[in-house]
Amino acid sequence: MYRLTLLTLAVLLCSSSLVNGGKVLVFPVDGSHWVNMNIIIEQLHARGHEVTVLRPFDSWHIKPDSLHYKAI
């Protein structure tokens, strides 16, 4: 049991540098929810993820142009 746990931990630690950022699709709710979601999106972008946001045409809070995400 101990060897299996140690082997699993070693494999996870060795493979952690091989992980690449993924693509994330966000469908947020306009309003105060966007404030918190924007913080999460900025962190995802900083960690190498490609973030796409589906935004309504008449959105007040979700900007169509951003450095952190691509808006559709």
In angstroms, rounded to a whole number, what is the distance separating the alpha carbons of residues 31 and 62?
9
Whole-Å CA distances, 28 to 1, 18, 33: 44, 30, 8
Summarize pLDDT for 31-56 with one digit per residue, the tens. 888 888 889 999 999 988 999 999 88
CB 59 within 8 A of CB 44: no
Q: pTM for the complete prediction?
A: 0.64
